[in-house]
Structure 1
Amino acid sequence: MTTTTLSFIRKEMTPPQPAPSSEVGVWHWVRTKLFPTPKDTVLTVLAIAFLAYILPPLIDWLFIHAAWTGTSRVACLTVAQGGALPNDQSGACWPFISAKFNQIIFGRYPLEERWRPILVMVMFVLLLIPMLMPKAPLKGWNAITLFLILPFVSFFLLLGGRFGLAPVETQLWGGLMVTLILSFFGITVSLPVGIVLALGRRSNLPVIKMLCVVFIEVIRGIPLITVLFMASIMLPLFMPDGWTFDKFLRALVGVSLFASAYMAEVIRGGLQAIPKGQFEGADSLGLGYWQKIRLVIMPQALKLVIPGIVNTFIGLFKDTSLVSIIGMFDLLGIVTLNQADANWATPVTPVTGYVFAGFVFWLFCFGMSRYSLFMERHLDTGHKK
């Protein structure tokens, strides 16, 4: 009689099988992303048709028939207009951007002193890069240097008048430099002030709550143009005799207050999304109010509203162009100002300038948007399904 031994335990793992050819590759992506349903197919075809209609003439105007070199308006004019280009080849006037590039970046800042804003920009980039890296060491010291020390150092460097530096009035500041200063200062101020306002609006103290509600609703109820006019014209009226504020400082105050009101509502939305059990759990641990807010509630609330915070930052960055109405020439304002130069007066000069300014704004806003998505994935709060 023979005995057969049966074994039901696998001793070797089966090697993984490749995915079906229909589930990988370019065709799978096209089928699932562009043509998954009849409705999506129609929308995809319409989108492709629209791009096919708009892109060729756009590329032709921006690059193929554009003027790239020249020292005056003649380089951007056709023969019929008194220039050198063929009559059927009228495109963007990039020599205008090249000739005015320094003014677009620095405004009317003195040429011999432009090493100062360049130094400020280098310090800003060197401090910002490790701040954006989640695993970079010494984040606390980095934040203190970037948000507290750098603004004061930049103020003395750019304004001058001390330490042997020639004074440069803020009326001479302009271009991308002003846009970045306004947006950075507004972002730096609006987040902490917005947190305080949001906490005050949820406070049980009626006076504190009323003051925060009035401030938020009044600021949010009027356009930024009005806030800038108030900061530029009415703010000096509340100062003691003999005291005055620089016009640029008034713009900083107006932009920061406006952004803080919107930021407060974004933060309040995050606070309302926190379950009540988190507050009760923090109370059960014996944490004080500020310990509870700092250690338990606020980290969760800020993670939940990262898209709203970045959206406010992007809106603030674009809204800085409104300071031109009070005599400050930001990126868009300096581009518009340079279009009045008779040496570059052509039919395509204004459009070229606005296209370039729009691209710069888009570049910064797109960068903030992508970093927001990166932070959402990195923090991964667990609220996604």
Structure 2
Amino acid sequence: MTMAREFSYVRQEMLAAQPAPTSSGTALSWIKENLLATPKDVILTLIGVAVLIMVLPGTINWLFLDAAWVGADRAVCATIAQGGSQPDGWSGACWAFVESRLSQFIFGRYPVDERWRVILVGAMFVALLVPMLMPKAPRKGLNALLLFIVFPVVAFFLLHGGAFGLVEVETPLWGGLMVTLILSFVGIAVSLPLGILLALGRRSDMPVIKTICIIFIEVVRGVPLITVLFMANVMLPLFMPTGWTIDNFLRALIGVALFASAYMAEVVRGGLQAIPKGQYEGADSLGLSFWQKTRLIILPQAIKLVIPGIVNTFIGLFKDTSLVSIIGMFDLLGIVRLNFTDATWATPVTPLTGLIFAGFIFWIFCFGMSRYSAFMERHLDTGHKR
């Protein structure tokens, strides 16, 4: 009797056979599971559908059906829009403006006859970046050397010129998507290793190094990027010896890279603090030096833990490149806004169309980085095999 009471929670008979589970791979099953699972889900789904019905038709009309796609000036936008479904004469998006200025949005004021150099640099970048992003691609060391050491040097001589028979193109003529990608690439390539060193320095046992890293991180994180760019553009030349000058674009590159490094350092430091103490002790028990322990055991685990934070910093850096327009450099957003003053395309819908185009380009790159981050998280998730 006592034994029966002690094991009363144990089932005394076998469960009856259950029906086979329904397929969860169909669209109907997905809708039922994600949109109609509970009464609250049903209500929210109905509200969402109602909002889409109200907003989507007008949005599609404005973006596509009533839009002007080809034309030489703003007159085509008015002519086509007047025949649209909207009441005013400028109802549709003016994609003809984007089509007319697309090359300027990409290259800025870079000379037309020399734009093959930009295209060549872009092709080299893609050819080196794609294998670097593929986990199973061979020769990663050589690929990294070419991408982060050789490629920047070759790209500089190709884009700037002045050597090897190439016409010199001053950086004030650079602009558009080209400037956005250059700032982002340099900022990402510099901020990650520098941020790792700053994070290690902040956790160092040496007081001088720790203090220097803390001061740098806290000072840079305590001011907005606009202030850093203004200081790099206006104040830095005041401290240079007489006759010395630094290119305006190079100042922006240094300011953006240092600013991103401070934020990257805190992201990496969070990963270092998440590593259990036993990992450090295990490395010490093997007789590894500090740098061996850090390179082989601590950093791989720490970086894997903070991949979302690292990519989030990269995305923020990519979007913050638009702030360089305040120091006279025109990135993608800056060059789009500059064209709003063009009398040939001065219409009420031109600014909105241009901003939608710029926003879509930014979204493509940011979404791509986000998806690659999710892929790498799954690829490196070795702790929980499914």
TM-score, normalised on structure 2?
0.91
Written as runs of structure 1 = structure 2, the 5 A alignment for 1:61-72 is 61-72=62-73
Q: Matches of 1:264 and 1:133 in 2, distance apart?
A: 26
CA 1:209/1:74 → structure 2, altered by over 3 Å: closer, same or farther?
A: same
User: Residue 265 of structure 1 aligns to a residue in which SS?
Assistant: helix
1:121 aligns with 2:94: no
Q: Matches of 1:34 and 1:312 in 2, distance apart?
A: 33
User: Residue 341 of structure 2 aligns to a residue in which SS?
Assistant: coil
Q: What does the per-residue CA deviation read over 1:250-272, in whole Å, with 9 as the maximum and x for residues that have no partner? A: 00001001100000000000001
- Please name the residue that 1:209 is paired with: 210
Q: What does the per-residue CA deviation read over 1:288-346, in whole Å, with 9 as the maximum and x for residues that have no partner? A: 00000000000000100000000000000000000000000000000011111101111
| Structure 1 contact 105–174 (Cα < 8 Å) conserved | yes
In structure 2, runs of 5+ residues without a counterpart are: 1-17
- Please name the residue that 2:327 is paired with: 326
Q: Matches of 1:384 and 1:210 in 2, distance apart?
A: 42
1:280 aligns with 2:281: yes
Q: Matches of 2:53 and 2:231 in 1, distance apart?
A: 48
Q: Matches of 1:101 and 1:23 in 2, distance apart?
A: 45
- Please name the residue that 1:58 is paired with: 59
- Please name the residue that 2:9 is paired with: none
Moved over 6 A (4+): none
1:177 aligns with 2:178: yes
Partner amino acid, structure 2, of 1:75: V
Partner amino acid, structure 2, of 1:145: L
Q: Matches of 1:24 and 1:159 in 2, distance apart?
A: 54
Written as runs of structure 1 = structure 2, the 5 A alignment for 1:306-385 is 306-382=307-383
Partner amino acid, structure 1, of 2:242: D
Partner amino acid, structure 1, of 2:44: L
- Please name the residue that 1:267 is paired with: 268
Q: Matches of 1:237 and 1:381 in 2, distance apart?
A: 52
- Please name the residue that 1:6 is paired with: none
- Please name the residue that 1:26 is paired with: 27
Q: Matches of 2:242 and 2:366 in 1, distance apart?
A: 42
Q: Matches of 1:239 and 1:174 in 2, distance apart?
A: 27
In structure 1, runs of 5+ residues without a counterpart are: 1-16
Partner amino acid, structure 1, of 2:264: M
| Structure 1 contact 67–93 (Cα < 8 Å) conserved | yes
Written as runs of structure 1 = structure 2, the 5 A alignment for 1:251-266 is 251-266=252-267
- Please name the residue that 1:166 is paired with: 167
User: Residue 67 of structure 1 aligns to a residue in which SS?
Assistant: coil
Q: Matches of 2:230 and 2:307 in 1, distance apart?
A: 31
Partner amino acid, structure 2, of 1:256: A
Report the aligned-residue RMSD: 1.8
CA 1:56/1:230 → structure 2, altered by over 3 Å: closer, same or farther?
A: same
CA 1:75/1:85 → structure 2, altered by over 3 Å: closer, same or farther?
A: farther
- TM-fit CA distance, 1:33: 1.2
CA 1:53/1:323 → structure 2, altered by over 3 Å: closer, same or farther?
A: same
- Please name the residue that 2:138 is paired with: 137
- TM-fit CA distance, 1:58: 1.0
- TM-fit CA distance, 1:28: 1.8
Q: Matches of 2:371 and 2:271 in 1, distance apart?
A: 21
Q: What does the per-residue CA deviation read over 1:128-157, in whole Å, with 9 as the maximum and x for residues that have no partner? A: 110111000011100110011111111111
- TM-fit CA distance, 1:23: 4.6
